[in-house]
């Protein structure tokens, strides 16, 4: 297996992050954690966008992953990080496989609207289910990883470790996938579905597959976020949350798997400062940035990097 530049970079960055962990201050670590969780979700959005689809309801899977992780903690009483993430991925995979049967037939705003409807259904259910804490949600706390108990600093490093490794692994695998035969179909489908069908490939199967992959990524991101923050609530599937994912995906562009992760990092960094200094103009900054990016940088922030070093 010959590795491309992006794959090598992913491995290098993973090793570097893990090696630097003891030297990272707390704030930097939590900023990285949250960005990487978001990055994982947006990786999935990127795959959908490459296929020409924008989901205004990916909060559904983000939330589902987090609640699946929470269920492992609350109901099964096994607060293990690895199991939580696995539960998140499995739950979202199953739900997406079923909903994908329907959604794979939809395009454009109808795809966006139906996924929005599904995410709001979950929202409607969660805010009224008192067993799951209604609008308040509930706290969860992971206490072990692969059965090894972790406390205090070990807990912090374990959380960081699992977040970095899983995000980077997702990016690595997605990067490989995008370079495979079927992965390359994504942009072909976006450009012209009919041609893809004439080539003998199935548009519907590919879209279904991409939908499931993106959902599982969102589920992993949600479960990781739950482990990191230690609290989950129904806002995770409310539509502005899904909008945030769309926003980061637009901001970062779909050029490379690093784009969503870098975009999420930029987004979270700006957000931490904006919350600190001007909480009431934060969304305005977002909106204006989004307009500027859409008008002047249709390829997202990633296209800036590409222009600097022509391939």
Partner 1 sequence: MNQLFAVLIDGIVYASWLFIIAVGLTLIYGVMKILNIAHGSLYALGAFTAVSFCSAWFNHNYAAAGSFAMLAAAAVVVGLIFGPLIERGLLRFMYGKDEVVLVLVTYALFLILEDVIKLVWGVDPLLVQGPNGETPYSVLGNFEASGLSYPYYNLVLVGVAVATGAALTWVLTRTRNGKLLIAVIHDREMSAAMGIDVGRTYFVTFTVGAMLAAVGGALTAPTVSVVTGMGAEVIVMAFAVVVIGGLGSLPGAALGAFIVGMVRAASIHYKPELELFSVYLVMAVVLIVRPKGLFSGAEVRKI
Q: How many CB atoms lie within 10 A of CB 133?
A: 18
Q: What is the rounded distance in angstroms from the CA atom of residue 232 to the CA atom of residue 37?
A: 14
What DSSP string runs through 189-254? HHH-HHHHHHTT--HHHHHHHHHHHHHHHHHHHHHHHHHHHSEE-GGGGSHHHHHHHHHHHHHH-S
Q: What is the rounded distance in angstroms from the CA atom of residue 214 to the CA atom of residue 180?
A: 17
- Select 112 or 223, whichever has its Cβ closest to partner 1: 112
Examine residue 204 and tell whether it contacts partner 1 (CB under 8 A): no
Cα 194–Cα 197–Cα 200 angle in degrees, nearest 5:
155
Examine residue 243 and tell whether it contacts partner 1 (CB under 8 A): yes
- Select 167 or 241, whichever has its Cβ closest to partner 1: 241
- Select 8 or 113, whichever has its Cβ closest to partner 1: 113
Task: Let me know: does 264 contact 248? Beta carbons within 8 Å.
Answer: yes
- Select 79 or 234, whichever has its Cβ closest to partner 1: 234
Q: What is the rounded distance in angstroms from the CA atom of residue 55 to the CA atom of residue 255?
A: 18
Shortest reach from residue 54's CB to partner 1, in Å: 5
**What part of residues 88-127 is at the interface with partner 1 (CB under 8 A)?**
102, 105-106, 108-110, 112-114, 116-118, 120-121, 123-125, 127
Q: Which stretch binds partner 1 (CB under 8 A): 58-66, 195-203, 262-270, 279-287?
A: 279-287
Residue numbers of the site for partner 1 (CB under 8 A)?
A: 54, 56, 102, 105-106, 108-110, 112-114, 116-118, 120-121, 123-125, 127-129, 238-240, 243, 246-247, 250, 280-284, 286-288, 290-291, 294-295
């Amino acid at each position: 297996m010959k590795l491309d530049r992006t794959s090598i970079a992913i491995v290098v960055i993973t090793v570097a992050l893990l090696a630097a962990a003891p030297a990272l201050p707390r704030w930097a670590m939590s900023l990285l954690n949250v960005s990487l969780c978001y990055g994982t979700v947006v990786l999935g959005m990127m795959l959908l966008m490459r296929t020409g689809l924008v989901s205004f309801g990916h909060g559904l899977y983000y939330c589902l992953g987090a609640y699946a992780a929470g269920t492992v903690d609350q109901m099964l009483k096994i607060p293990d990080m690895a199991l939580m993430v696995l539960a998140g991925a499995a739950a979202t995979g199953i739900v997406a496989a079923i909903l994908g049967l329907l959604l794979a037939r939809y395009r454009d705003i109808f795809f966006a609207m139906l996924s929005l409807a599904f995410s709001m259904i979950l929202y409607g259910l969660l805010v009224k289910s008192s067993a799951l804490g209604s609008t308040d949600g509930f706290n969860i706390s992971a206490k072990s990883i692969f059965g090894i108990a972790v406390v205090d600093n070990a807990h912090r490093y374990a959380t960081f470790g699992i977040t970095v490794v899983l995000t980077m692994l997702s990016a690595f695998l997605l990067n490989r996938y995008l370079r495979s035969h079927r992965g390359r179909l994504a942009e072909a489908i976006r450009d012209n579905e009919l041609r893809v069908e004439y080539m003998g490939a199935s548009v519907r199967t590919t879209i279904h597959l991409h939908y499931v992959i993106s959902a599982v990524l969102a589920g992993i991101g949600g479960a990781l976020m739950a482990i990191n923050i230690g609290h989950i609530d129904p806002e995770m599937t409310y539509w502005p949350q899904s909008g945030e994912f769309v926003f980061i995906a637009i901001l970062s562009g779909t050029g490379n798997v690093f784009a969503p992760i870098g975009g999420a990092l930029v987004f979270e960094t700006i957000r931490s400062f904006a919350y600190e200094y001007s909480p009431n103009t934060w969304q305005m900054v977002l909106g204006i940035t989004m307009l500027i990016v859409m008008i002047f940088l249709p390829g997202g922030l990633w296209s800036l990097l590409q222009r600097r070093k022509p391939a």
